[in-house]
Structure 1
Amino acid sequence: MAISFIRKFTKGFFVILNSMGCLVFLIACLSPYINPENWPIIGFLALLVPYLVVALLFSIIFWLIVKPVLSLLPFITLLLGWKQLAVIVAWHAGATFTAAPKTDSTIRLITWNVRGMYGISTNPYKQQRDRLQIFATIRDLNPDIVCLQEFNTSYNQKRPTALNLQLFSEVFPYHYFSKDYVSASKTSAAGSIIFSKHPIVFSDKIKFPGNSSESLLYADIAIGRDTIRSFTTHLQSYKFNSNDYADIEKIKSNDADVLSSASENIYSKMKLAFQQRAQQSAIVKAAIKQSPYPSIVCGDFNDVPNSNTYFTIRGPRQDAFLAGYFGIGTSFDALAPTLRIDYILPDNHFNILQFDMVDEGLSDHHMLVTDVSLKK
């Protein structure tokens, strides 16, 4: 009798747990359609999607062994969430990137959050070395267009970021710099920047509202007889500092002494970022719709591909990662191994020829590079 009760209780427990997991996953799948400005919890659920997928896959295997008919629930749930599954993993096995000389019709574009051009060291000498290595890594790939976020240039010769504009301009004679942050002394500036080997015939920026100093910037670039518009941006981050990262580790370790206060602080910062990115992504969507030319949107969106941010900006566009890569494709090294938050999104006027994510250990973000060509 006792064994029978335990068996029924255990089975019931796992059925309820399985059902709850399916429900949470289906709610998370609504993230493309729910504005996190009004319901920020959807932003948190979007971050969990890869882990929920793994849990549901294990659930299918478990029920196939224990009671096969019950495996239908997680299986059907995953089928219903196909749109979310389709953006997590790229399936081009054996995909490689060839940096060989390009054809005249090929346009090579790089996007990279370069973390201020300081590298990841706190040593000024290493920062100077990393600055030059960042430039060399980009130069050696021979791109036509380079979009950088968290780009920093200083006019003080003693600083590691001195004359970054001059450094890049030796190879890329055209640029448009957002200068979202300018020091009080006017000796340094930071923001997003577009470099080009081809003439920039028009450029502009749209400053995001609120406390954010970031912008969406774009440049119309004449390449041969064609003109394309390149957009880049750095959307609102969580603004985590070193104390916040320490709190996250304490949360992971279930440190009871700080669990409540740390969780509240992290939650508040993430909630604000979800809401601000909702506003910013709507601005980006409206701007790219107005492009008179074939366009490519790229940059650091600070949000995962399961998010409302991603689906709002991408719309019917292509994702270069999904078109030319294999695997999950982490683009940001901190916090979790599932954070693909940097993107290259060409519209449907382009063929995507190849794509790569490059980790040189010079930033907390990976560099993204793609070759595209205009459809004729």
Structure 2
Amino acid sequence: MTLLSNNSPKKSTFRFRPLLWINYVFIILLLFTQLTPIIAPDTLWPMTILALAFPLLLLINGLFVILWLITLKKYLFYSLLAIIFSYSLTLDHFQFRSSTPKVEDKEAITLFSFNAKNLSNNNFNRADKKIRMQIMSFTADKSADIVCFQEFQSYPTKGIHTVKEFKNQLGMKNSYAMPYLKKSKLKYIDLLVLYTNYNIKNSKDFYMDGKAYGFYVDLEVKGKTIRVFNLHLESNHFNTYDYQIFTEKEANLNSEKGHHIVWLLKKIKKYSVKRTHQARTIKEAIKQSPFPVIVLGDFNDTPASFIYQHISENMTDAFKIKGNGYGNTYNGELPPMRIDYALFKGDFEILNYQVLKPNLSDHYPLLIKFKLK
């Protein structure tokens, strides 16, 4: 009778079986993310969470490839194939280029887009001018031709007229400002704002349930008309208490925390469905435009989401042309993610793309150079 040795293949396989089953779970989840760009949240809202998890699922499968490579197991091909299958979504999140040399061109036009978080980097001392002045100075230094702000604020009851103040400091002739609420009774006014020296020929505002989520203006640029969208799609409305779920170090799950998690999921469901409707409206407006289109702003969704994929269809993402690395634009309490975008449709050539890193908001500003063909 022959006994199996301690190093027999069967015992070795049995030892790794629990890890293999865990690997299978993450492979399946990664493969399911391939459906997030085509299944809208108002059809199946959990796809929003799966889209958010894409970078993590990609990383975990990558770690399994390394694990099986070290242990000389053929199982590495399972995760490897799932990663290869996710190639398109991977390039929406990561760009692998050694460097992006700055291109100097006399015909270049510079865009600047920034979610400025109330011009105060908090929701409390909104009229505090310290951060506001830093944002104003930082923006002016970039000498952009078109400047778009989301979460801009004015404080007329305190005699602070920031729209005019920024316009003068930036040296711009024209501006377009749209209040988030059509009738604000607050001491401050939340705004979406665009500054430019180009002539503004036409404009349209987009509201849902009485709240703004974007506008477009038609600009006369070097003898041509281009349509520029400034968007701020519906957020998930997380508050300070909500963020504690993601930041607290203790992992214990009690009844209160369980109820809080359920409440957060309800928020994600509600507002991802709202963003879906907004994205469809914007998509149709882009489709109907008789002019070349530029879309700037905060989508509050990652590149794996239906929202980004729907709006960016048949458009050029400046990050994918000239960006580098992960492309994170978020500077808040959640994990890094790309939720701010610069998209182009028409005869444009992207020259440069940068995510700037001032610590002035829970977002990082975008600086893009392009030219008209």
TM-score between both structures, scaled by the size of structure 1: 0.90
Q: Distance in 2 between matches of 1:352 and 1:109?
A: 11
Distance 1:29 1:338, change over 3 A: farther
Q: Deviations over 1:94-131 (max 9, x none)?
A: 22557x8x62x211111100111123495578x30211
Instruction: Give the superposition deviation at 1:188.
Output: 4.2
Instruction: Give the superposition deviation at 1:143.
Output: 0.7
Q: Does 1:89 align with 2:90?
A: no
Distance 1:61 1:201, change over 3 A: same
Residue type at the aligned position of 2:116: V
Instruction: Give the superposition deviation at 1:263.
Output: 0.9
Instruction: Give the superposition deviation at 1:194.
Output: 1.6
Instruction: Give the superposition deviation at 1:325.
Output: 2.2
Q: Deviations over 1:241-269 (max 9, x none)?
A: 11111233348633435331121111111
Structure 2 counterpart of 1:363: 361
Of 60, 65, 69, 1:64 maps to 69
Q: Distance in 1 between matches of 2:126 and 2:21?
A: 56
Instruction: Give the superposition deviation at 1:10.
Output: 2.7
Instruction: Give the superposition deviation at 1:2.
Output: 10
Q: Does 1:40 align with 2:41?
A: no
Structure 1 counterpart of 2:280: 282
Q: Aligned residue pairs: how many?
A: 366
Instruction: Give the superposition deviation at 1:186.
Output: 7.7
Q: Does 1:222 align with 2:220?
A: yes
Q: Distance in 2 between matches of 1:69 and 1:336?
A: 36
Structure 2 counterpart of 1:130: 131
Q: Deviations over 1:288-345 (max 9, x none)?
A: 1111111100100000111111100100211112222221121112233331100011
Structure 2 counterpart of 1:191: 191
On the 8 A contact 1:50/1:338 being kept in 2, the answer is no
Q: Distance in 2 between matches of 1:370 and 1:328?
A: 17
On the 8 A contact 1:25/1:52 being kept in 2, the answer is yes
On the 8 A contact 1:250/1:258 being kept in 2, the answer is no
On the 8 A contact 2:119/2:126 being kept in 1, the answer is no
Q: Deviations over 1:213-272 (max 9, x none)?
A: 123200000112111110011111110111111233348633435331121111111111
Q: Does 1:347 align with 2:318?
A: no
Q: Deviations over 1:184-226 (max 9, x none)?
A: 5586422312211111011111213x4x612320000011211
* RMSD between superposed Cα atoms in Å: 2.3
TM-score between both structures, scaled by the size of structure 2: 0.91
Residue type at the aligned position of 2:156: Y
Q: Secondary structure of the equivalent of 1:277? A: helix
On the 8 A contact 1:237/1:273 being kept in 2, the answer is yes
Structure 2 counterpart of 1:117: 119
Q: Secondary structure of the equivalent of 2:93? A: coil
Structure 1 residues without counterparts, runs of 5 or longer: none
Q: Distance in 1 between matches of 2:193 and 2:258?
A: 40
Q: Distance in 2 between matches of 1:55 and 1:252?
A: 22
Q: Distance in 2 between matches of 1:189 and 1:175?
A: 16
Structure 2 residues without counterparts, runs of 5 or longer: none
Q: Distance in 2 between matches of 1:186 and 1:336?
A: 28
Structure 2 counterpart of 1:321: 319
Distance 1:123 1:8, change over 3 A: same
